[in-house]
Amino acid sequence: MDIKRIGIITSGGDCGGLNAVIKGIARKAYALGIETVVVPNGYAGLYNLIDLDTVVVLNAERVSKIEASLAGSEAGHSRVKISKIDDPDKYERIKKGLKKFNIDGLIISGGDDTGSVVVDLTSQGIPCVHVPKTMDLDLQPYSVGGDSAINRISVFARDLKTTGLSHNRILVIEVFGRYVGHTAFRGGVGAEADAILIPEVPVDFDILYEHMKTTYFARIERSDVRAGTYIIVVAEGLKTSSGEMLYDESAGVDAFGHKKLAGAGKYIRQQLEKRLKTDPDVQAFMKRTGMYVPGIYVIPEVREVTPGHLVRSGQSSAYDVNFGYKAGAGAVVLLRDGRTGNTVTGVEGQKILYMPTTEAIKRREVDIEELALFESLGTCFGRKPVEFKPELCEEHRTERSM
């Protein structure tokens, strides 16, 4: 395949490391004598490319203006599924747009929905290579943005301890992650959260309450200034014990057709408050610790905090900048060599690793076997702890994705 010009698309939710992907693509392509251009604002921009007068060429000067360590994407985003566009000539329109700007192939960075469009466009004869991106980390390979989100979640949750300790608050921090709990889990561990609730484990609120009560009471009673907090990190896709997920029915669906998730933090607060109000030990504890004020302060405060888009904004982690550069550069080589319909999964030494995009976008959940280890160290996952029975295995291999 003779690739002289590559179009770069970033799609789905923005996150850390994307600008490094863009720079990795542009610089590797430049080194190979290939030009790169931005297709702006994700698949919306691809559909409307034909109507543009110009596209931005990522020459050396323009690329140097992009800051790799800043999250978000210089190329812009949208959540648009091409197959759902109400236009029978959409693929022809896209092909005409690509022809207009002499774009021979696309490198598209995004998550599972974006990847499904990569598969779709490839089947329509448009050469595409996929770079895995999603803070949710629910693809088979590592995806750029995950590490940045984990770091930010852990910093936010850790920082909230100062207000928690000042007011003896029980804090529930609800974080993005859609249907999986990778970032809540790793970010929660990073912040030394007391409880981490993820969609892979339906929550038993009596177990969570008992863990909270024991930990929180002991902390305050041990403290010479009677200060203590209890930190819960919860993934937005939380499942109640009946296996139900909490949707924000009033928020409708996003452009990819997913129902919007919301309310996990609030639901947990309500569950804990309900138990605090009816538990006779609570009033005794409040009196013992000098917190009790009749009619005003009779149970500890439970508050939910939702950092929302902050977890995917701001700075990218150094890991994501590294991965982004490598994956972006690797994608150029794949596209040049005609390996379309594939996802670059990493670069090890001189090897560019890849797999079919159809495989890469299959959902990966948290391996709940590992939770037992953290349960043995004291973390609550809203279930009866499972005994950690380690097996020793001598193995020489590189680290897999998080």
CA-wise closest residue to 37 among 21, 59, 20: 59
- Nearest CB to ligand F6P, comparing residues 78 and 240: 78
Q: Which residues sit at the interface with ligand F6P, rule CB under 6 A?
A: 13, 79, 111, 134-136, 176-178, 236, 254, 261, 312
Residue 263, beta-bridge partner list: none
- Nearest CB to ligand F6P, comparing residues 376 and 401: 401
- Nearest CB to ligand F6P, comparing residues 28 and 133: 133
Quote the least distance from Cβ 330 to ligand F6P, whole Å.
23
- How many helices and strands (H and E) does the chain possess? 13, 11
Active site residues per annotation: 136
- Nearest CB to ligand F6P, comparing residues 135 and 352: 135
Measured between alpha carbons, how far is residue 348 from residues 138, 219, 327, 400 in Å? Answer: 22, 46, 11, 12
Quote the least distance from Cβ 231 to ligand F6P, whole Å.
20
H-helix or E-strand containing 25? helix 18-31
Quote the least distance from Cβ 306 to ligand F6P, whole Å.
12
Quote the least distance from Cβ 391 to ligand F6P, whole Å.
33
The separation between the first and the last C-alpha atoms of the chain, rounded to the nearest angstrom, is 34
- By residue count, the chain amounts to 402
